[in-house]
Structure formats: C-alpha cells, structure tokens
Amino acid sequence: MVDFCPECGNMLRKKACRCGFDESDTTSKNASPNQLKKIWSPPSPNAIYCKITATAYEKLKSMLNKGMYPEKLKEVRENLKNRFYSCSICLYYHAEISRCKYKNQYLTKDSICRSFEPFPDN
C-alpha cells in the first residue's frame, strides 16, 4: 500500500515528509483521540463480497444478471444489515489508538466507510 502525506499529498517513502508531517506522530491538527467520530457510510454488499472472495466486480455482475445469487452474498447483506462489518474488523483501523489509517481520523469501533477492507479471514 502506498501512503500519501495528508498535509501536502506527496508520497511517503520514509517516516517523515518534507513538509514536516511525521506519520509516527498520532496527533493531527484537527483531530485527537478524545474526539472520536462515528461514520456509517458502508460500501455496497456487492463490493464487500468482491473484496472477501477476491472476485472481479464484473464477474459478480454477470453472475447476478444470469440469476445466480451466491449464498455468501446473502450472508454479507445480512451481516451489513446487522452492523457486523465495522471498523473493528477493517485492515486500516488501529484499535489501540482508535485511528483509521486510510481516513487519517479518529473513529469509533462501530463506524464504517466506503473504504472498508475486511480482514482476509472474515
């Protein structure tokens, strides 16, 4: 995964950026661990299914057009409806500091965004 500096947008090759942003520093200008946000903007169940099963989105669309409806997709829809999928099982979320590396924000564990990437074993 390639990381970019949230301040200037340059690619981070080492810990610190030329603009002075340091990735190891967990505090940011507008967010702190005391100000946790809650976001509920989940990706579509089809997108989550494709990430879990490593299936191309076009292949899933053609399967659905042919009338084939995978059981795992039904399970994903149910889990999303019951809010099982959240930041707590996302690759980008660091539970120790309640921080999303992708969004560069402090979020609650029950949040979810469109960038949700489940662990491979879920």
Strands annotated E in the chain: 93-94, 99-100, 105-106
Rounded Cα gap, residues 106 and 37, in angstroms: 6
What is the pLDDT, as a whole number, of residue 26? Answer: 40
Identify whether 111 is part of a domain.
Answer: no
Backbone angles phi, psi at 16, to 5 degrees: -110, 150
Identify whether 74 is part of a domain.
Answer: yes
What are the residue ranges in the chain where pLDDT is below 50? 1, 25-29
Identify whether 79 is part of a domain.
Answer: yes
Rounded Cα gap, residues 94 and 112, in angstroms: 13
Identify whether 24 is part of a domain.
Answer: no
Identify whether 82 is part of a domain.
Answer: yes
What is the pLDDT, as a whole number, of residue 95? Answer: 86
Tell me how many domains the chain contains.
1
Is-above-0.75 flag for pTM? no
pLDDT in tens, 63-87: 999 999 999 999 999 999 998 998 8
Rounded Cα gap, residues 122 and 108, in angstroms: 20
